[in-house]
Structure 1
Amino acid sequence: MIANDISVRILFLSQTVFGTLGNSFILGFYIITSVRGLRLKPTDFLLSQLSLANSLVLLSKGIPQLMVILRRNNFLDDVGCKLLFYIHRVARGLSLSTTCLLSGFQAITISPMSSRWAEFKTRVPKCIVPSCLLCWILNLLTNCIILVYMKAPVRRENTTKIQDFIFCSVSIHASLITSLYTFIISIPDVVCLGIMIWASSSMVFVLYRHHQRVQHIHSTRLSPRASPVVRATQTILLLVIMFVSFYSLNSILVLHMIFVKSQPWLVNSSALLAAEFPSFSPFVLTSTDSRIPKYFLALWSRLKPSFSPSPLRY
């Protein structure tokens, strides 16, 4: 059992290391591109925010896992637990809302000109920055309750129900206010998931119609490459499918821990599922955005002569 637990934590630590490096890689690319004065696409700002949020999600869970591997289970006090869980919840909410904005923006972008969304196409790019700021404000405010109830691990029994998260714990009071707050903070998640499902269905329908038109235009001898808009839509669609799948599985485990029983293996499995999307999404972006590998290959070609050994002189 101990070996099993250690292997899970090492797996989670690997997710954290590679996922954080991948998200930093993506975020660095967009920052360097912006500093150099090159033109960024409207979705690039959202993708950079998504990379930042994913990095915070991984680090806020990866650091406690690393401490457990180093056999320092009680390294967090009340203040540390409050801050760590607060950062994790805010970053998780940002990841959800940013993915929702990405899917909705792309669905409107590729909508036909004859549709009811046509008039919003020119306005949507101007709304990206205010929407991102609104996401930050809402997530910072709605998760303030964590700063009140989250505490260091409690090992004693009392009349209050204690939800143990291994690194921290939270006192759950069975009251109408707690139930009402839980319902209120769940509304944005449900709304975002609903928007993502709608946007994904809309994008699949538009891509299907585009594929049908392309089949009539091109001959069977040609193998035309997909346009940049189609490739971007496919990438965002893949990100949304990944997010909804991992989020749904993780939510099932969390509900089981809250209403049935919380066990260490459930906490570890939930943490692994919660880290799947942040750790895999940067590699999806790297493999689908042709600008990223081209830029870093060009950068490597410039740096390569400095690493090559100097020729011997006789």
Structure 2
Amino acid sequence: MPSEEFVRGMLYLSLTVVGVPGNSAIIVAFFLSIFEDKCLLAADAIVLHLACVNLLVVLVRCLLETLASFHLADVFGNTGCKAVIFIYRTCRALSIWLTFLLSAYQCLCIAPPGSRWASARTLLAHNLPFVFLFLWVLNTSMSSAAVLFTFSTNNGSVQLNNAVNVQFCQVNFPSKVSKEVNGAGQVGRDVVPMALMTLASVMILVFLYKHRQQVKGLRSGGGGGSVGAEQRAAKVVVVLVTLYVILYGVDNGLWVYTLTVKKTMSSSLVSDLRVFFASLYAALSPLVIIVSNRKVNSRLRWASQEKSVLECTVQISAR
């Protein structure tokens, strides 16, 4: 096995080992919460949706890249490439927009009670299913080029001037104009939520500063518990947004480089780096959520305790 393939396989394997259990743990924790409480808060629903999308990113990109790099499975034929690129691009974009949605909702949550922002939070929570549906329709439609122009690199039909090399697959655009239009659309689709979530994070920091100045007396009187919970959740969102901006900023910078520099597509190094940095968010963000989200922690501890009790009962019965 060439050293380049081995290194690529190990990198994607590391993301798979971290991302699959992390996102799966969040999904299990919230489904346990739904089973017990018969409901799910709006913020938790967004986090659950984000974990599902991130899990798909890790599975269809990192896991399959790992299997292909180590020659354990060959899934990158023409049909496989179309499916993988389409699902990956759709879920990657959804991950971006859901992170923005989470930051916007959290920004509304820490707004002063009785303000118009509080009314907007209630409206958003009530219409959350329609927001999810809109985001799915928007991002699946914008990823349709992957189905039309993606082919396996094994068929030998490569147009380097208008192709985007994704190691095992090629996205062969029919013209330079279509390539640039598609690339500009993807960059715009990513930059818009990036700018909005950055703005929401700045507003969160401003709200946190104001709360810190206003609730000192409430804390000393024992009335600042809910504010403290809101502040903890808001800080987690700021961390997620910061992680996103760094990783996807690098990803989009490499994408712009791909579109503007000639003959970069003869090598898949740039595309490998793009996929790695984009998938890194899907693998690392669940760790931030698991460490900081008390509901996820409590559900996972409860599940672990139940498993321990069951194992002890089985051992006693066996005796």
TM-score (ref. length: structure 1): 0.88
Higher fraction of helix: 2
Q: CA deviation at 1:9?
A: 2.1
Distance 1:5 1:70, change over 3 A: closer
Higher mean Cα deviation, 55-64 or 256-265?
256-265
Q: Do residues 290 (structure 1) and 291 (structure 2) align?
A: no
Q: Which residue of 1 aligns with 2:242?
A: 241
Q: Do residues 265 (structure 1) and 269 (structure 2) align?
A: yes
Distance 1:228 1:55 in 2: 27
Q: CA deviation at 1:115?
A: 5.1
Q: Which amino acid aligns with 2:316?
A: S
Unaligned runs of 5+ in 2: none
Higher mean Cα deviation, 209-218 or 132-141?
209-218
Q: Which residue of 2 aligns with 1:232?
A: 233
Q: CA deviation at 1:24?
A: 1.1
Q: Secondary structure at the match of 1:164?
A: strand
Q: Which amino acid aligns with 2:245?
A: V
Q: Secondary structure at the match of 1:111?
A: coil
Higher mean Cα deviation, 70-79 or 9-18?
70-79
TM-score (ref. length: structure 2): 0.87
Distance 2:247 2:110 in 1: 26
Distance 1:158 1:99 in 2: 35
Q: CA deviation at 1:52?
A: 0.7
Q: Which residue of 2 aligns with 1:6?
A: 6
Q: Which residue of 2 aligns with 1:193?
A: 194
Q: CA deviation at 1:185?
A: 4.1
Q: How many residues align?
A: 310
Q: Do residues 310 (structure 1) and 288 (structure 2) align?
A: no
Distance 1:127 1:193 in 2: 22
Distance 2:118 2:294 in 1: 28
Unaligned runs of 5+ in 1: none
Distance 1:297 1:224, change over 3 A: same
In the TM superposition, 1:30-69 aligns within 5 A as 30-69=30-69
Distance 1:193 1:45 in 2: 21
Contact 1:74-1:167 within 8 A present in 2 as well: no
Q: Which amino acid aligns with 2:285?
A: S
Contact 2:152-2:170 within 8 A present in 1 as well: yes
Contact 2:19-2:286 within 8 A present in 1 as well: yes
Distance 2:63 2:301 in 1: 32
Taking only the aligned residue pairs, the percentage that are identical comes to 23
In the TM superposition, 1:203-242 aligns within 5 A as 203-215=204-216, 227-242=228-243
Distance 2:165 2:180 in 1: 19
Q: Which residue of 1 aligns with 2:85?
A: 85
Distance 2:203 2:134 in 1: 25
Contact 1:160-1:172 within 8 A present in 2 as well: no
